[in-house]
Amino acid sequence: MKRWIIFGGYFLLIGLIIYMVASFSEVSKAITFLQDQESEIADDPLALISTTVIANNHDGSQAYVLNNPLYEESFSSEDINLTFSIYPLVEFKNKQALNSIAFVITDLSIDDDSALLSDNGFNVVNLSLSFSEEIKLGDETVESVSEPFTETFSNDMRIMIIKRDALMTDDDKYVDFTYISLSYELNSDRESHIVKLTNSTYNEVVLSDLFDESLNYDIKDVNKDALDLYSQYDLTNYKDNEAIYFDENLIAIYQSYNGILVKNISIAVFVIGVATYFLYFHKYVMIKYRKKQTLKKLKFEETKNSFRNNDK
């Protein structure tokens, strides 16, 4: 019984190791895919969004994106420059689809010696969202959230993608954004404000002291109806549509990296096979081998003695 428990535990360990290798390989595959697409996405937010969806989901999901952002503005001051855009998109796989929202920063530069830098030497930029009603967030309800943007391969670009279904009330109604704010973190564990955008449907728009007052600080066009891209362009009419960006080649490029997964799992299986042999089988193989060698030796001695007896 004890032996079977040990065997069972060992095979569970093997399963865990293979799972971990597969998970690591998927991450490695996604990173390699993103790195190789860097030149394509460097100046193209739409390509960045589509590539990020494929890499983040790594399950065959793709995305089509509205060609023109619901909101886009470029902000420039003596120390801070950036372009901020908001795009609706649809993430889909086979016949399943859901609406998502992409927040993209391009042309980012922050000239501030007190700014906190990440391990990659990049500025840590946060996105804060305030809602028209409280939304469900796990076991809680909240009226606002704040999260850091995901870094890309350069300091001048950031992205965050949120599934629209995450922005729902307790009674499963979608909410609007009342405010959207950008900030960056400082070495002193504080944040430095960049810009605050307002939805004029809910509040009076407040202009910025840092940037030109003639810029657009109103996000009223980023509303519930506009974010429901799937109702406007579903899985039957998104292809070859001038209003939609979709690159059908991206998923094929991503899947071409499956060799990373196959190679790593093959190596893991080989190493596990060798380890299993020496742990459980080598001892018995050697016993059997020695027994054969002993029998051969005895047989040889018998034959040798037989010849000696015949000579007499």
What are residue 223's phi and psi, to 5 degrees? -115, 175
Higher pLDDT, 127 or 279: 127
Is the per-residue pLDDT at 301 higher than 60?
no
Q: Which residue has the tokens 């065959």?
A: 60
- Residue 16 is predicted with a pLDDT of 77
Among the residue ranges 74-88, 138-152, 199-213, 274-288, the one predicted with the least confidence is 274-288
Q: Is residue 36 in a domain?
A: no
- Residue 281 is predicted with a pLDDT of 62
Q: Is residue 188 in a domain?
A: yes
- Residue 256 is predicted with a pLDDT of 79
Crossing angle of helices 45-57 and 2-36, rounded to 10°: 170
Q: Is residue 92 in a domain?
A: yes
Higher pLDDT, 137 or 20: 137
pLDDT in tens, 12-55: 776 777 667 666 666 666 777 777 788 888 889 999 999 999 98
Q: Is residue 311 in a domain?
A: no
Q: Is residue 199 in a domain?
A: yes
- Residue 300 is predicted with a pLDDT of 56
- Residue 27 is predicted with a pLDDT of 66
- Residue 189 is predicted with a pLDDT of 87
C-alpha distance from residue 268 to each of 18, 105, 210, 308 (Å): 7, 40, 55, 56
Is the per-residue pLDDT at 173 higher than 70?
yes
Q: Is residue 151 in a domain?
A: yes
Q: Is residue 305 in a domain?
A: no
C-alpha distance from residue 159 to each of 188, 206, 235, 250 (Å): 25, 25, 25, 18
Alpha helices in the chain (DSSP H): 2-36, 38-41, 45-57, 224-227, 229-232, 249-255, 258-276, 282-311
Contact 34, 153 (CB under 8 A): yes
Mean pLDDT of the region 104-110: 97
pLDDT band at 277; cut points 50, 70, 90: low
pLDDT band at 105; cut points 50, 70, 90: very high
Cα 126 to Cα 166: distance, rounded to the nearest angstrom: 18
Mean pLDDT of the region 295-311: 59
pLDDT band at 129; cut points 50, 70, 90: very high
Among the residue ranges 7-11, 89-93, 111-115, 149-153, the one predicted with the least confidence is 7-11
Please provide the average confidence, as pLDDT, over all residues in the chain.
Answer: 85
Q: Give the largest Cα separation in the chain, rounded.
A: 122
Q: Which two tokens stand for residue 17?
A: 């190791």
Q: Is residue 237 in a domain?
A: yes
Instruction: Kindly state the percentage of the chain with pLDDT values over 90.
Output: 54
Q: Which two tokens stand for residue 250?
A: 């991206």
Crossing angle of helices 2-36 and 258-276, rounded to 10°: 160
Is the per-residue pLDDT at 308 higher than 70?
no
Instruction: Kindly state the percentage of the chain with pLDDT values over 70.
Output: 76
Mean pLDDT of the region 141-150: 95
Range(s) of the domain holding residue 76: 61-247
- Residue 41 is predicted with a pLDDT of 84
Domain count, the chain: 1
Mean pLDDT of the region 278-300: 64
Among the residue ranges 55-64, 94-103, 172-181, 195-204, the one predicted with the least confidence is 55-64
- Residue 230 is predicted with a pLDDT of 94
